[in-house]
Each structure stands twice: as C-alpha cells, then as structure tokens.
Amino acid sequence: MCLFCKIVNKEIPANVVLENENFLAFHDINPKAPVHILAIPKLHVDSFNEVTGETMAGMTEFIQGLVKEIKIDASGYRVICNVGEDGGQEVKHLHCHILGGAKLKWEHFSDADPKDFL
C-alpha cells in the first residue's frame, strides 16, 4: 500500500484541510509556498497517465471548492500534477500540488537554455 493510501486509510496522520467521499486534501510536509496543499483521489491511481476523465472532473470540482475554502481563489494559485520520475513525481499516487498565498515565481526554468534539453 502506498503512502497516500495509508493517509486515506488513517494509518498515517496528515494535516487534513478538506475531505469528501472521493477526495482528500492535506498540507504538504515540505511546503514550497505559504500555502502548499496536496489533493488526491481516495481511490489509488498511479499517476495522471492512468486517471479517468470522470475522476479528473471530480478532482477539478474538489480543488475549486478547496481554493474557495482556504480563500486563495481570488488572489490566485498554481495547480501542478507531476508525472513520472522525470516530471518529479515522488509518490506513485496521483496528486496535485496547490500552491498559493504569495506571488509565485517560476525560477526553475528562468535561466534554462532549451538547447540543454535537446
């Protein structure tokens, strides 16, 4: 059983922000912004590559409700789903990072030369 499935099953504690029948949102343990929350489906899905449109539609509504609940919907936020090792996915359970609470930068590509990736 993966780490996030253990959180869903309450085997591992998490700082839960919002929960419904199908989705769970909790604070990231290594925040990269003043607000850094992970939103996951309770049903195990390895990554964005395997998720159904129906699950993503539900997750979209869940995240929209979450950002209203934590009051960052008007100021703005970023939603990131990392996929696979090269994409930075560390836990093999679909999760979206919701980042906000400040003017967010995009520094990891600010000095990148596209030729370095070819």
For residue 42, which of 18, 22, 13 has the smallest C-alpha distance?
Answer: 22
Planar angle of CA 25, 61, 93, nearest 5 degrees: 45
Contact call for residues 38 and 26 (beta carbons, < 8 A): yes
Amino acid identity, position 86: D
Does the active-site annotation cover 95? Answer: yes
Q: What would the two tokens of residue 30 be?
A: 């290594």
The single-letter DSSP state of residue 75 is T
| Given the residues 27, 95, 97, 108, the one annotated as active site | 95
Q: What would the two tokens of residue 91 be?
A: 């836990």
Q: What would the two tokens of residue 40 be?
A: 């996951």
Amino acid identity, position 58: G
Q: Please give the positions annotated as active site.
A: 95
